[in-house]
Structure 1
Amino acid sequence: HLAARKEQSALRAVIKCVEDYKLEAQFPPENLKKRLEQLEKAKT
């Protein structure tokens, strides 16, 4: 569970940076958000 929590934190940080710096064209956040949802579903 610790690894999943660390991955969730990292994904949130990356998504925030991509959005803050408007890098969606280079790094589409959809895949990151899908992975984040997968981790959250696995947790429950």
Structure 2
Amino acid sequence: MDDRTCAACDCELETDIITVTLGGRAVEVCCQDCALLLGEAQAAIAGSEA
């Protein structure tokens, strides 16, 4: 069995997987909330590097 987990919350991925690109790499999340969290985290990191 393929044990894939959400990149944001580590929950097991079901059928409604969302793919988000972070730093040029595609990661999978379980829901829209997790996708938004990762996007906000990336924006915060990008803002601190400026």
TM-score (norm 1): 0.43
Rg larger in 1 or in 2?
Answer: 2
Structure that is richer in strand per residue: 2
Higher relative CO (Cα under 8 Å, sequence separation at least 6) belongs to 1
Whichever structure has more helix as a proportion of its residues is: 1
